Structure 1
Amino acid sequence: MTNNQTLCPKSLADMQSAKDGDYNTELSWVGMEQIDLPVEIEGKPITAKVNAGINLLAVESGEKGIHMSRLYLLLDTLTQQEITPLVLKDTLNAFLKSHHSQSSEASIEISGDILLSRKSLNSNLFGWKAYPLKLTAKMHRVLSLHLQVGIPYSSTCPSSAALSRQVTQLKFRQDFGKRIDRLPLEEVARWLGESGMPATPHSQRSWAWVNIKLAADAEKIPVKKLIDVCETALGTAVQTVVKRSDEQAFAVANGQNLMFCEDAARTLKRALISENCCDAFDIRIEHQESLHPHNAVARVNWTGENNAT
């Protein structure tokens, strides 16, 4: 027998199960954060960071702490199959069962990036784009499930576009105001190509952070649908593969979808209500300004009623 074997007793100390003299102090959440876990959502692999925990009740049989290893081992269920609302519900119930009479609430938070193949605007090419997501599941008598995705897009300022057009008008008057002949079409077209943009509107990379509450009877985690609905509504999703024809098409899309952050928030609200894909949502729009050193932000939420709160 080795020295190590000699030093390992048959019965191991279990300090978590020791009775706590301060058992009347309830803890709202105890668990682990930033657990590395490979998961699959809607057929896409995600290298996730997972937070998992339960509350600790104030009961006479109160113990010092929870058995975190029990929760950690139960999380392996999430790696064996695609994550669905039912899988999350079963895992959370297993959390509570593992600490019977000690806990009444359990939660799992899954964060990571989902990679989706996106088609170019004009050249029929494809590239990959990563979208940050966070899936939060809580069990307190019933399952509560929230999905948040981050969607990058381009926003061109309507005010800047109007001011730029005004400069173009002034330039046109300067160059042609004294002409008394009828301007030939080709001459005007040549002027537009050479001098027709004395000022350009400012655009910036922007983010829509969309957090939806899934319906109680949801069968899937609708990540791709949520992203598609939002990108279609905004009209200026950030691109992957870009040839010159794609860049031109992107410029046209920006010109046809001028927006303040307020416009983007209202547009997404209308789109999500129309799709009827969730029970409630919260949207945060962030335009990362190229004109200012600060960002322009708008928020809107909906709880199934007509008015935002």
Structure 2
Amino acid sequence: MKDVCMFEFVSDVLNLKQMDSAEQGRQPLSSTGAGVVPISRVLPDVANESEPHIGGTLDRVGMSGVELVLRLRDAAGEVFRTPARADAAVSLDNERVKGIHMSRLFLSLNNRLADAELSMSVVNEILQDFVKTHADMSSNSYLTLKYEHSMKRPALLSDHSGWRAYPVTIQSAYQQGQFRHQLTVQLTYSSACPCSAALSRQLIQQAFERSFGDRSELSHDEIFEWLGTPDAILAVPHSQRSHADVTVELEEGVDEFPIETLIDYLERVIATPVQTAVKREDEQEFARLNGANLMFCEDAARKLKAALDSYEGVKDFRVEINHLESLHPHDASAVASGSRS
């Protein structure tokens, strides 16, 4: 009984001491084998409090695939939100620092993009935040944003329209006090094979010869009627869905990402972008456009290269073409690049 009373008395004394120390702004106390000692409220920080076993600088350290929501404004002035993923990093220039502060990168991204529309100035602020929050260890910073940019597209002839989602990648860097920005957009279009078209025309000519080879004169009506028969289109050129991944490095004087203007410009050049809403008149016009714009992958690459050579605000560019062949189990590809620096 005496032991129980003594235990309760010691416990009460410890509790009173802890309450008194909390009121005076001191750390709480804990009973150990060595007596009463303070309980630390400071969380361990391994990255700051220890050195690496193997020293050395690193080009980039950070996070990849960070989930975000971006606020964007379309050509009509409407603001919309879209999910995105980000890669964020800084250089590790101090070889004695064990690790960077990952949470600071995340919080900068999260805070800057929470309510602000995506713009080049916001991206620049984020890059500067990355360096400022790592001033003792980093001088360069990097940010990549990947998302799908929604644009409403009208039908070719009818009064209908629909939405397209264009994959977009923004790659930005802050190095030696200078900003660099690259913009990548992916176009999807139809490519009809010139060789297949020529072979198809030859077969149609042979069919015409079989039907009228023994006649020296034909009336307009006879020819017109024959052109509407299956024999007049017994062969069609193969076409396929195709992709153009276009990357441009923006000049220093450019102050906004020209996402929609670049997409519009390149689709006009390629001439056969895939469609959304399609009625019969739209499909017929699409067939006409394919026939008027036959192209190998080389043709597509050259068309876009020539177009980018004269596009304002672009310092360097790279075009990668992939035609997802309907004739082969493999794809046809081409790459073109240019520099105006």
Distance 1:22 1:57 in 2: 16
Per-residue deviation at 1:42? 4.0
Tell me which structure has the larger Cα radius of gyration: 2
Q: Which residue of structure 1 aligns with residue 104 of structure 2?
A: 70
Pick which of 76-85 and 152-161 moved more: 76-85
Q: Deviations over 1:19-76 (max 9, x none)?
A: 31446311221111111101134444321011111111134xx221111111100002
Distance 2:275 2:40 in 1: 61
Distance 2:135 2:126 in 1: 14
Distance 1:66 1:58 in 2: 10
Opposite residue 214 of structure 2, the aligned amino acid is: K
Over 6 Å off, 4+ runs: 5-8
Distance 1:166 1:6 in 2: 96
Task: Pick closer, same or farther for the CA change 1:42–1:283 going to 2, 3 Å.
Answer: farther
Task: Pick closer, same or farther for the CA change 1:18–1:284 going to 2, 3 Å.
Answer: same
**Pair 1:128 & 2:160 matched:** no
Aligned residues of 2:47 and 2:98 also touching (Cα < 8 A): yes
Aligned residues of 1:120 and 1:241 also touching (Cα < 8 A): yes
Aligned residues of 1:57 and 1:102 also touching (Cα < 8 A): yes
- SS of corresponding position for 2:233: coil
**Pair 1:165 & 2:196 matched:** no
Question: Number of aligned pairs?
Answer: 299
Distance 1:6 1:189 in 2: 102
Task: Pick closer, same or farther for the CA change 1:15–1:98 going to 2, 3 Å.
Answer: same
**Pair 1:302 & 2:338 matched:** yes
Larger RCO (CA under 8 A, 6+ residues apart): 1
Task: Pick closer, same or farther for the CA change 1:37–1:6 going to 2, 3 Å.
Answer: farther
**Pair 1:187 & 2:218 matched:** no
Query: 1:53-202 to 2 correspondence within 5 Å?
Result: 53-59=89-95, 62-76=96-110, 77-141=112-176, 142-180=178-216, 182-194=217-229, 195-202=231-238
Aligned residues of 1:42 and 1:223 also touching (Cα < 8 A): no
TM-score for the superposition, normalised by structure 2: 0.84
Aligned residues of 1:41 and 1:221 also touching (Cα < 8 A): no
Distance 2:232 2:127 in 1: 62
Q: Which residue of structure 2 aligns with residue 291 of structure 1?
A: 327
Opposite residue 71 of structure 1, the aligned amino acid is: L
Q: Which residue of structure 1 aligns with residue 57 of structure 2?
A: 26
Distance 2:81 2:54 in 1: 42
Q: Deviations over 1:168-221 (max 9, x none)?
A: 0011001100124x2121221111111211110000000000000011121211
- SS of corresponding position for 2:240: strand
Per-residue deviation at 1:79? 3.0
- SS of corresponding position for 1:269: helix
**Pair 1:265 & 2:296 matched:** no
Distance 1:272 1:78 in 2: 31
TM-score for the superposition, normalised by structure 1: 0.92
Any gaps of 5 or more consecutive residues in structure 2?
1-14, 16-27, 31-38, 75-79
Q: Which residue of structure 1 aligns with residue 247 of structure 2?
A: 211
Q: Which residue of structure 2 aligns with residue 10 of structure 1?
A: 41
Distance 1:297 1:82 in 2: 36
Distance 1:147 1:23 in 2: 37
Q: Among 223, 227, 237, which residue is 2:259 paired with? A: 223
